[in-house]
A and B are shown apart, each in its own frame.
Chain A
Amino acid sequence: MRSERVVDVRTLFEDTDDYLQAACLSDWGGLDRKITRPRVQKAGLALAGFTKHVYGDRLQVLGLTEIDYLMSLESAVARDVLERYFAKRLSVVVLTRGLEPPDVLVEVARGTRTPLFRTSLLSSTFIQRVTRRLEALLAPRASIHGVLVDVLGVGVLLIGRSGVGKSEAALDLVLKGHRLVADDIVEVTVRPPDAIWGEATEFHQHHMEIRGMGILNITHLFGVAACRDNKKIEVVVELTESDGEDVDRLGTEGRVFPILGVDVPLVRIPLRPGRNIASLIEVVARNELLKVRGHDSARAFQAKVDARGAGTERVPPTPSQRIPLSEVE
C-alpha cells in the first residue's frame, strides 16, 4: 500500500513551537491549503515582477532581503508586485527573523486569503528545519506485514507467512538483549536519498502478539532498552518453510527486497526443526555489519576458490612432481 502525500498548512505547523518557532499572523483562514513539495521557495526575484517560477504548492519564505526591498518601494508599486506574487495562489508565506510584516503585505495576504506566518528563526535555519519536516511529512509511506528488530545496531525486518514464527523469533532476539521496533505492522518511509526507515504505529508501539500468550507489552516486561521507536531497515530476513532452490547456498547472489523503490538486501532462511532462528538472525546482522565495513565473507571465499581453480589450470603439475602410483599404495 502506497499513498502520494500532501500536507496542509495546519498540519505542517502543528506541535512545532520549539522546532519551527512560528506563529500564525493571519486570521482569515486558508490553513487547509496544500503543500506538495518539500523544497521551499524564497521570494527573491518574484518581488521584482519575475513570477514565472513561483509555485504555489511550495512554502514561500520572506527574509530580511525581501522585506527591506518591499519597504524601499513606493507603496503602489509594492502593492502591484505583491498582488502578482500572491496571484500564484500561494499555500503559505512565512516571514523569518521575527520581521514585522509591512501593512501592504498583510492587506494583499488578507485579500487572497493566504495564510501568513512568522518565525523568530533566521531564514537559513528555518529553511533547513522546515525542509526536514516537509520531507518527513511528504515522504512516500507504506505498511508492511512483518517484525522490525534492531539487532546489534542493524535494522532487521523479518517477513514471512502468517504464523511462521516471526514474532517468536523477535521475542527470542529481545531476550538476547536486542530491541523491538515494531511487531506485525511496520510503517515504512523513505528518507532521501535512499534510506528506508520503519516504525510502529503509535497504537501498537512496544507491543507484541505471541500466540498462546496474547498481547505483551515489551517495555513493561523487559525494560525501556528493549524497544526503540524507529530504525533504518538494513536487511530483510524472510523466514520460509520451503527448502528448495530459492535458498542462496553461497551467499553471493545479492538478493534484494524492494521497499518503496529502494532495494534492501534480502536473506532467506528456511525453517527446520532444531534451527535456532534468533541465533541465525543475529549472525545475519553480524554479517551485514561486516559487509558495511567492506568485507563480504562469501565473496572473499568465492574469490579464493576461483583463484585456486585458475591457478591449477595455468600451472599443471609437471611429470616429475607427480607422485608415482607405487608410493601411494
Chain B
Amino acid sequence: MSDAPTSGTIEIVNDLGLHARAAAKLVGLANKFESDIFLAREGREVNAKSILGVLMLACGKGSTVDVRAEGPDAEEAYAAVAKLIQEGFGEL
C-alpha cells in the first residue's frame, strides 16, 4: 500500500474551462477505472463517470474542483484525473 492521495483540490487551467469536449474526455478517462470518482464544486458533488453531472458543475478557467476517488484503484484513478485537469485536457 502506498500513500498516494485519493482526493484533492485542482484548478482548471485551460481557457474554455470544463466545457463539453473536455468533460467527455474526463468522463471517458474516469470510466476506465473501477473506483467511484466524484467531482465537487460549490457544495454540489457529481459522479465523474457521467457526462451530465460533470457538465452541470460548469467549471470555468481559474475555478477549482474537488476530486475524490474511492475503490480498489483509487490512487491511480485520482492521479490520472488530476493529471488530465492539470494539463488542461490536452488543450494547452
**A207 touching B44 by the CB < 8 A rule?**
no
Is A163 an interface position by the 8 A CB rule?
A: yes
B51 near A209 with CB under 8 A, answer yes
Q: What's the count of A-B pairs with C-beta under 8 Å?
A: 42
A201–B47 CB distance below 8 A: no
Contact partner of B52 (CB less than 8 A), chosen from A3, A163, A185, is: A185
Q: How many residues of B contact A (CB 8 A)?
A: 14
Which residues B35-62 have CB closer than 8 A to chain A?
A: 36, 43-47, 49-53, 55-56
A288: Cβ under 8 A from any B Cβ: no
* Least CB distance, B81 to chain A, in whole angstroms: 14
> Smallest Cβ distance from B29 to chain A, in angstroms?
13
Report if A1-B36 is in contact (Cβ < 8 Å); known contacts: A163-B31, A209-B50, A215-B51.
no
Chain A residue contacts of B46, Cβ below 8 A:
145, 185
Which residue of chain A lies nearest to B56 when distances are taken between CB atoms in the complex?
A203
A162 to B77, CA, bound (A): 15
Taking beta carbons and an 8 Å cutoff, which residues of A are in contact with B?
1, 3, 143, 145, 161-163, 183-185, 201, 203-204, 207-209, 214-215
Asked if A215 and B36 make an inter-chain contact with CB atoms under 8 angstroms apart, the answer reads no
Q: Which residues of chain B (4-46) have a CB below 8 Å from chain A? A: 31, 36, 43-46
Query: Known: A201-B56, A203-B56. Is A162-B49 also a contact (CB below 8 A)?
Result: yes
A3 touches B43 (CB 8 A): yes
**A-B contacts besides A162-B31, A184-B50, A185-B46, 16 pairs, CB < 8 Å:** A1-B43, A1-B44, A1-B45, A145-B47, A145-B50, A162-B36, A184-B52, A184-B53, A185-B56, A203-B55, A204-B55, A204-B56, A207-B52, A209-B50, A209-B52, A214-B51
A21 to chain B, nearest CB (A): 33
Q: What residue of chain B has the Cβ atom nearest to residue A183's Cβ?
A: B52
B-chain residues with CB within 8 Å of residue A208 when the two chains form the complex = 52
Q: Interface majority SS on B: helix, strand, loop or mixed? A: mixed
- Which chain A residue shows the least CB distance to B40? A1
Which B residues are CB-close (under 8 A) to A143?
A: 44-45
Q: Inside 8 A of B31's CB, which chain A residues have their CB?
A: 162-163
Residue of B31, B36, B51, B53 contacting most chain A CB atoms (<10 Å): B53
Residue of B nearest to A187 (CB): B44
Task: Collect the chain B residues with CB atoms within 8 Å of residue A204's CB.
Answer: 52, 55-56
B51: min CB distance to chain A, Å: 5
A162 and B36 alpha carbons, distance in the complex (Å): 8
A and B contact pairs by CB, cutoff 8 A, 22 listed:
A1-B45, A3-B43, A145-B53, A161-B36, A162-B31, A162-B36, A162-B50, A163-B31, A163-B49, A184-B47, A184-B50, A185-B46, A185-B50, A185-B52, A185-B56, A201-B56, A203-B56, A204-B56, A208-B52, A209-B50, A209-B52, A215-B52
CA distance A1 to B40 in the complex (A): 11
Nearest CB in chain A to that of B51: its residue: A209
Residue ID in chain B nearest A3 by CB atoms: B43
Closest to B49 in A: A162
A185 to B43, CA, bound (A): 14
Contacts of B52 in A (CB 8 A): 183-185, 204, 207-209, 215
Bound state CA distance, A161 and B43, in angstroms? 22
B-chain residues with CB within 8 Å of residue A207 when the two chains form the complex: 52
Most A CB within 10 A of own CB, among B36, B43, B56:
B56
